[in-house]
Amino acid sequence: MESERKRRMPKQENAATEDATKKPRLPGPNTRLTRDDWIRAAMDTLIEKSIDGVRVEVLAEDLKITKGSFYSHFSNRKELLDAVIADWTNTATSAVIERLDSGEKAPVERLRTLFHLSQTKLPNAPGGALELAIRAWARRDKAVNKAVQAIDKQRTDYVASLFTQVGFRKTEARARAVMYYTYLAGHNILAQTGEPEPAAIYRAVEELILAGTAPAAASADGAAQRQKARKST
C-alpha cells in the first residue's frame, strides 16, 4: 500500500524536496559549474563533515576544479553559506507550501501529503540528514539559529492553519500542529540510526494525529457541527 501511495503522489509535490538533493555534475575538461552546483556541493559537505568542512578549497578539491569557478559565483565563503540557508529555506519549506496551496486538495489531504513528503529519506526532510547538519550548525551561529527558528515557526503555523480550516479551535489546532511536526522530525531522526517500526504502525500514528479530520469536516457545515458538539459537552 505504501508503494501504491508513492506512485500516486503528484510529481510536482516531490519536486521541491528532490531539487535540494541533486548532486553537482561531475566536472569535465570544459565543465563550468553553476551557482547551484556549488550550493549542492556545500550541502553534501555540510552533511558529511559539518560546517567546519565547508570551505572553498575543500569544495574545489572535491569537485576537481579550481577555486576560480567558485569566485565567479560568490564573493566569499559567507555568501555561499547564506545561499545554502536560503536554498534550504525555500526547497524544504516555502516551495512545498506553495505547491500544496496551488492545488485543489482539501486541508486534510494536504496534511496527508505532507506526512508522505516528510517521511521520505530525502536529506532536507524535517529531521533529515541536511536538516540535522543545519541544526548542529545553528547551535554555533546566531544567524543560522534565527533562520531555523523561523522555519520551525513557518512550518508549524502552516500545519496549524490546515487544522483550523478543518474546524479545530485555535488552541487545539496549534497543539495538533506541534504534535504533527515533532512526530515527523522525530520519525526521521530515529529512521537514520534505528530499526524502523512496521509501516502499519506509522499509518496508525498518522490516523491518531489526524483523528477528527474527515473530509466533510473541511467544509463550513462540518466545522460548525464540530463546534456545536464541543459546546454541548
Identify whether the C-beta of residue 110 lies closer than 8 Å to the C-beta of residue 100: yes
Which residue ranges form the domains of the chain, and what is each CATH number? 11-231 (1.10.357.10)
Identify whether the C-beta of residue 61 lies closer than 8 Å to the C-beta of residue 22: no
pLDDT score, position 167: 93
Start-to-end CA span in the chain (Å) = 38
Query: Would you call 8 exposed, middle or buried from its count of C-beta atoms within 10 A (0-12, 13-18, 19+)?
Result: exposed
pLDDT score, position 121: 66
pLDDT score, position 8: 41
> Angle at which helices 95-102 and 11-18 pack, to 10 degrees?
170
Half-sphere exposure (CA, 13 Å, Cβ side) for 184? 27
pTM metric for this prediction? 0.76
In tens, the pLDDT along 6-58 reads 444 444 444 444 444 455 555 554 468 999 999 999 999 999 999 999 999 99
pLDDT score, position 122: 66
Tell me the DSSP string of 100-144. Answer: HHHS---HHHHHHHHHHHHTS--TTSTTSHHHHHHHHHHTT-HHH
Q: How far apart are CA 170 and CA 165, in angstroms?
A: 10
Rounded to 10 degrees, the C-alpha dihedral 151/154/157/161 comes to: -140
Query: How many helices (H) does the chain have, and how many strands (E)?
Result: 13, 0
